[in-house]
Amino acid sequence: MPDHNVMASSTVEDYIKRIYLQQQQAPDAYVPLGRLATDMQVVPGTATAMVKTLSEAGLVDYQPRVGVQLTSNGDKLALHVLRRHRLLELFLVQTLHYDWSEVHEEAEILEHVVSDKMLERIDQLLGHPSADPHGDPIPSSQGTVPDRQLTRLIEIDPDEPVHISRIVNQEPAFLRFIERSGLTPGIEITIDTLDDQAESLTLTREDGETLNLGLQAASSILVARRE
Ligand SMILES: [Zn+2]
C-alpha cells in the first residue's frame, strides 16, 4: 500500500470515494466529469483541476472529454475511506446510540480524521462486522469487499421468505420511514401480492404484521434470498 499521507487530504478522499461509488453504478465505464462535479457540488472547472491532480498522484486515469476511472491505488484508497466511513457509522449507531438516519453526516467528517489504531479498536469492539447499519458492505483492512448476492425486493416472487439486507436510498427521511415500517436490515419478510397497476405491494414481516409499500420505495430495498 503506497503512502497516502502526502496526498490524503479530505478533499482528495472525498473525490476518490465519489468516483468509486459512481463506478459501482456502471462498472468499467469512465465517470463523466460533469457528473462528478454535480456530485461534489462544484463547478466543472474545479472538478477538472482536481482530477488532474489526482491523475498526477497516480490515483485516477483521466481521459479528457471521456471521464475518469480509479487506478488500483485509487481503488485501495477508496476502499480504505469506505471502511472508515462504514465502521464509524456502525459504531455511532451501536455504541453511541445515534439514529441510523443521522450518522452519515457525522461519518463524513470523522472518516478523514480517525486514526488507524482507533479504527481497528472499533472494528474489534464491534466484532469485525461485514456491513454498516444501512447494509453497505464494510471493506476489510486488506481492501476486500464482502461479496453478497442481493436482489431487489421488487424482483422477488410472492411467498418466498427473504431477509432485508441493504437500503439503497439513504435520505434521512426515507431511512426514518423504513425504520417506522420495521423494515431494517436483518428483518425477514415475505411478499404477499405485487400489483404493477397500483404500483404497490403487500408484505408480511416476521412478526406477522402485514403492510403496504409503494413500488418506488420497495425498489430501494435489497434483500438476501435463502441459500
Ligand atoms: Zn451507511
Over residues 54-72, the pLDDT tens digits come to 999 999 999 999 999 999 9
Which three-class secondary structure state does DSSP give residue 191?
strand
Residue with cell 412478526: 207
Q: Report every protein residue that has its C-beta within 5 angstroms of ion ligand 1.
A: 89, 132, 134, 136
Q: What is the whole-number distance in angstroms between the Cα of residue 110 and the centre of ligand 1?
A: 13
Amino acid at 23: Q
Kindly give the distance from the C-alpha atom of residue 186 to the centroid of ligand 1, in angstroms, as a whole number: 15
Burial of 211 (0-12, 13-18, 19+ CB in 10 A): middle
The Å distance, Cα 153 to ligand 1 centre, comes to 19
Share of the chain above pLDDT 90, in %: 90
pLDDT at 175: 96
On the question of pLDDT at 4 being above 70, the answer is no
Confidence of residue 199 (pLDDT cuts 50, 70, 90): very high
The answer to whether residue 6 scores a pLDDT higher than 50 is no
For the chain, give every domain's residue range: 10-70, 151-225
Q: What mean pLDDT do residues 25-43 have?
A: 92
Domain 10-70, second-level architecture: Orthogonal Bundle (1.10)
Rounded to the nearest angstrom, the distance between the alpha carbon of 101 and the centre of ligand 1 is: 9
Question: What's the average model confidence in pLDDT over 150-163?
Answer: 95
**Distance from Cα 4 to the centre of ligand 1, integer Å:** 24
CA of 109 to the centre of ligand 1 (A): 14
Determine the longest span between alpha carbons in the chain, in angstroms.
Answer: 57
Query: Tens digits of per-residue pLDDT, 63-105?
Result: 999 999 999 999 999 999 999 999 999 999 999 999 999 999 9
Q: What is the mean pLDDT of residues 193-220?
A: 95
Environment class of 118 (CB within 10 Å of its CB; exposed 0-12, middle 13-18, buried 19+):
middle
Cα(197) to centroid(ligand 1), Å: 32
CA of 214 to the centre of ligand 1 (A): 23
pLDDT for 28 equals: 83
Q: Supply the pLDDT for residue 148.
A: 87
Residue 121 has pLDDT above 60, yes or no: yes
What are the φ and ψ backbone dihedral angles of 55, each rounded to 5 degrees? Answer: -65, -45
CA 41 to CA 20: how far, in whole Å? 17
Across the range 160-172, mean pLDDT stands at 96
Q: pTM higher than 0.85, yes or no?
A: yes
CA of 138 to the centre of ligand 1 (A): 9
Question: For the domain 151-225, what is the CATH code?
Answer: 2.30.30.90
Ligand 1 centroid to residue 131 C-alpha, Å: 8
As a whole number of angstroms, the distance between CA 35 and CA 31 comes to 7
Ligand 1 centroid distance, CA of 105 (Å) = 10
pLDDT of residue 8: 55
